[in-house]
Structure 1
Amino acid sequence: MSATLNGPEATRYPAGAELDHRLGDPRADENPYGFAAMRQRDERADLTALADEAGTDLRLAFVPRCFGGELLTADDTLMSARLASRRDGTAMPATMFGITATTCVLLAGTPEQCAEVVTMARHGQSIGFALIEEEHDGDLLAGDCSLFDDGRGDYRLTGRKWRVGLGPRCSALLVLARTGDRGPAAFTLVLLRDQDLAKAKRHVHRTEGFRGIEFADFCFDNLLVPVQDVVGGIGEGMETVLRALQLVRAMSTAANLGCADTALRLTMDHATTAGFEGAPLTAMPYVRRELGASAAALTVADVVATACARGLHTLPGQQSLWSSVAKSVVTDLSEDVFARCADVLAFRGQLADGPTGAFGVARRDNAVVRYLDIDPVGNLRLIAQQLRRLASHDVLDQPPPRPELATTFSLDAPLPELRLSDLALSWRGRDDVTAALPAVSHDIRDLLAGEPSAGPLLCRLGSLQAALSLIPRDVHELADALGKDCGRSAELLDLAERFAQLHAAASCVHLWWFNRHRPLFGQAPASTGWLVAALDVLRNRGGGPRGRLEPEIAAAPFTLAEALHADGRLFSAAPVQLREGAS
């Protein structure tokens, strides 16, 4: 059952909605910000006018106002970047690729350095970030690119950095260089400008997706680095990077959400107009099930990404965990959306022209996001490191939700100011999302007691709690069996992946609970169909990708997607009115 969308629901994320309307109907072939333009950009391997137009909204949208930026809240920024990305997956990197370097400088730089990078972002100049080296790809604590004291009060930089985003055209470059022997304290950040980069050799890489967003290697040979270009203290570089990447991982989900929205929208366009045996394609049970499962997967991704973005304000100390969970879950589920929709489109999904021609472009762009900032294995390692500490907490202790958690998930609740300085290197306490699940589940049972329709949800809540309770046991048993090898084991990474899915499931429960009196996903308040399907999507992933949903479970998210698609709204808990749905 759909709800009438008005009041707070209609006014959520006004900046993103204004951007989307300003960019015009993406279905119009002549629209330079539409799906046809996405295909043309991809064919030319060049950026479109969309980057210039959306850049006015996005370039400073991740910079807190205390630094001269334009960030209102992180979920506002997420929504604007997501709405731009649905028209072209390169929109976010074309305008926000400097987010990592800029955030590092804002965290550790001098006031002069902070002002410089914000000014560069305001003028559309790109600041590259040189983190990894090809010989040590995926190992953040390794690297041979070194910074040496030249004996005269300055430094010299020698070595090579690999695949820097927008490297061929960046106006400045933040480099993480080795200044010590071992560990995270062995690295330091330095900020290089145009005149320095002119002396560095660059080798350009092009990718299958994100065409036009080129990557480059940088090779430095005894480059002079004045002491005033060091960002933060000597040996503090890695900690700064790991804290900055929490914001980066949260924001990167916007590209996945935007691309996946386009995949489902183009597929719904086709399925609602194509015929099969005299009936619309959407009358086929298989099609309805696959589109329903796609919508359920996108629902979960939306919840996890939004909660992570809001959590940057409310529970910043936990974002070392939450942002890694969001990166893992959203990249996985967005690929699931594409896989299911591709089967519904069949050969049409392989065509480069026609109304579904943008599908393949969006799919390739979406795939690149999975490997940006940190690769999937490295990301799971970050979760695994914290999982071993989380397992030490008493699972029988069932604390009530903290006010900060309620604020995170209550979509109308005002958020405190985002303070980058509150981001912690690593979280050593409880995960509030999973810790509060027993108490919230108890309250849900009390609320729904005696309602026959509540049976499916209550059953899944019990299964979710049982699965979460097994995680600490499994971690301890693995540690006992493998000893010091536990931290490097594939089994621990498997547990980290499973924990990420359970955290995502608990997030969906919290979103429903703290917003049960308001419509979500365009449905009537307290509707549970989307939640049951979301929990099943995550539960079924335990047996591998693309687990099947039962037809009766897939029916609710299919109806949800069908209504939002027909009304021209975003597939989101806060279904923004899109340009093509405007009257």
Structure 2
Amino acid sequence: MKKLKQYWTAEALEKDLGDPLNPDNPLSYKRVIEIDESEEFPHEEIRWLYDWKLQHYYIPTDCGGEFTSFEEFVAFVRVLSRRDQTIGIAFTTLFWSFLNWMAGTPEQKQKLARFIMDDYGALCLGYSEKEHGSDLINGDLTATKVEGGYILNGEKWPINRATISGISFILAKTDANGGPKCLTLFMVDKRQLDPEKYYNLPKIYTHGVRASDMSGIGFKDCFVPDSMRLREEGDGLELALKGFQITRMLCAAFSHGAADTALRTTLGFAVNRVIYNKNVMDLPQPRRTLVDAFLDILICDCETIPAARGFHIIPEQFSVWASVVKYFVTVRLEEMVNSVYVVLGSRFYMREEHEFGIFQKLLRDNSIISMFDGSSIVNLHALILQLRPLTKYRAKRNSRTMSALKTRLEAIFSLEKSVPPFEPNNLELFGRGMDDSLQGLEIALDILEGLKNSDEVDPEILENLLMLGNLVLEELNAHDEKISQSKFEYGHDQSPELFEIAKKYCTLHAASACLHTWLYNRSILGEFLPGGMVGVEFTPITANSAAAALHSI
């Protein structure tokens, strides 16, 4: 695993954070529980991460930072979220800087890079409003054009790090007539504002992530200069939606961190607890629960990690893939966390017992991940609008498109292949019917057929993989037939049946990702490790575990 350089940063962070059971270590379970109980923002812990220079990995190299790939990014955010999602989320509001790396001028990029790296600057995102939620176009915060800039009026709520941040990305209405070009995005540096013209809303007390700066921000006749506008007037909605493609996928890292800790802390209990004269781990039902939980993590690894790589290779397809990851991974791992607590028994509910009560905290914290940056319904709706183009494109594939697709699949799924620099300008609002993972399923099955002539894979396991892979293909063909015969439904009044179809598509997508991940990494990741995740590294997947994952799906 040492040759997988993209995991070195996460490994170094894991090492320096130390054992979370040692109360003296940074972000120990004891300390994060104390922070949660106090509901006070973790300034000291956030400072430790800045001193470690983690903020540099949010900034592209051409702006002086050390960001190289989203695969590396997902790995270290996952490590951070294993210790505490509150701190992980609070620090990772820095990923909104990608709006600037996408759309900013050279001057705006350099200003933000220096603010983050040198000033330990924090960011927030002001999209949602109390009366409108995710209905961005109908928001009430306005930006009225005046000489040299704009006058902002209105409020954004609820916003993470709205109060404790220096720069806010604010989406404002610049055209009262509405429509898709009515919004403009501003990178508002609060240090340059008249302090009498903006204000912070009170802290919101929440069920989980209690120590977060969850609040809001308001403006009253507040002047912002033209230099704070990102791109052109009217480009705000497009930038917002493209930014969501990045952050929705990256949210999966928060879920992975919580799932890792949930499984590990429960497993630690199960292997040491004796009841009915037996070790809990030796009882069939608890053992099955924990094995299923491990498979859930494997499945979601196979969806999240290639997606992180895919940003560098097929960014134009992420209006689909980001929605799949944000729905499938966050929901699946939320269900996984909710399933393993039965093994802990009453201890899952206690605020002090078993590893300082970390489980009850992560159970509360993790429940928000599937909701923010677009809820499950929002992401399924985004996918529904693209199901018909996906079906049409798949029907029109030919030998030329399949040959190119095969090349891309290896680049996306093989962890030993380097990825090119991320090109944010290649993000598209609609994927034009392309989805390499599912549309390359026949390629995966052909490779499996070819393995029959080698002794690389146990024949019984290979047949199992082929059987399950062909079952996924049958389901995909049935899905396409259903879509091609259905009526297209416009707007937000989609039927419940279409939401179920979209959920099924996500499941099929994850199944194909499991197959591709094993195929393109079967010779480089070593033997399967029964203990599961080791350190921060991607778990090696054998044919046996790949088949089990497919069967679990």
State the alpha-carbon separation in 2 of the partners of residues 340 and 354 from structure 1.
Answer: 19
**Shift of residue 520, structure 1, vs aligned partner:** 6.2
Displacement, 1:333? 1.5
What letter is aligned with 1:440?
A
The answer to whether the 8 A contact 2:448-2:462 is kept is no
What does residue 433 of structure 2 align with? 429
Could you say what secondary structure the match of 2:347 adopts? helix
TM-score (norm 1): 0.86
Matches within 5 A, 1:357-436: 357-395=357-395, 397=397, 399-400=402-403, 401-436=405-440
In structure 2, the gaps of 5 or more residues are: 531-539
Shift in alpha-carbon separation, 1:484–1:51, aligned structure 2, 3 A? closer
Match of 2:477 among 469, 475, 488: 469
Match of 1:458 in 2: 466
What secondary structure sits across from 2:156 in the alignment? strand
CA deviation vs aligned residue, 1:125-182 (integer Å, no higher than 9, x gap): 11211111122212233312111223x3532222221111111111121211112223
- Contact 1:391–1:472, Cα closer than 8 Å, also in 2: yes
1:105-504 superposed matches below 5 A: 105-122=100-117, 123-150=119-146, 152-180=147-175, 181-194=177-190, 195-196=192-193, 198=195, 199-204=197-202, 205-356=204-355, 357-395=357-395, 397=397, 399-400=402-403, 401-448=405-452, 451-479=459-487, 483-484=489-490, 488-504=494-510
Label 1:458 to 1:391 Cα distance change in 2 as closer, same or farther (>3 A).
same
**Which amino acid in the other structure matches residue 548 of structure 2?**
A
What is the 5 A alignment of 1:45-124? 45-48=39-42, 49-55=44-50, 56-100=52-96, 102-122=97-117, 123-124=119-120
Look up the equivalent residue of 1:511 and give its one-letter code: T
TM-score normalised by structure 2 residue count: 0.90
**Distance in 2 (alpha carbons) for counterparts of 1:43 and 1:413:** 44
Residues 1:63 and 1:184: Cα distance change in structure 2 (over 3 Å): farther
Are the structure 2 counterparts of residues 62 and 249 from structure 1 closer, same or farther at C-alpha, using a change threshold of 3 Å? Answer: farther
Deviation of the 1:68 alpha carbon: 2.1
Report which stretch shifted further, 290-299 or 247-256: 247-256
What CA distance in whole angstroms lies between the structure 1 residues aligned with 2:527 and 2:326?
22
The root-mean-square deviation of aligned C-alpha atoms, in Å, is: 2.2
Aligned equivalent of 2:547: 532
Partner of residue 30 from structure 1, selected from 24, 36, 53: 24
Q: Give how far 1:124 is off.
A: 1.9
Higher mean C-alpha deviation, range 217-226 or range 304-313: 217-226
Match for 2:82: what amino acid? Answer: R
Verify the 8 A CA contact 1:200 1:219 in the aligned structure 2: yes
Question: SS at the partner of 1:163?
Answer: strand
Percent of residue pairs identical: 26
CA distance in 2 between counterparts of 1:50 and 1:526 reads 35
The answer to whether the 8 Å contact 1:16/1:83 transfers is: yes
Structure 1 residue 47, shift from structure 2 partner? 4.2
Matched residue type, 1:91: I
Deviation track 1:294-352 (CA, whole Å, cap 9, x = no partner) reads 01111111121111111111111112211111111111121122112111111011111
Q: Residues of 2 paired with 1:67 and 1:421: CA distance? A: 16
Letter in 2 for 1:86: R
Contact 2:63-2:113 at 8 Å conserved across structures: yes
How many angstroms does 1:221 deviate by?
Answer: 2.3
Q: In structure 2, do the counterparts of structure 1 residues 364 and 411 end up closer, same or farther at CA, with 3 Å as the change threshold?
A: same
Conserved? CA contact 2:181–2:235, under 8 Å = yes
| Per-residue CA distance 1:33-84 (angstroms, 9 max, x = gap) | 2222221111111344443223334323132211222112211111111111
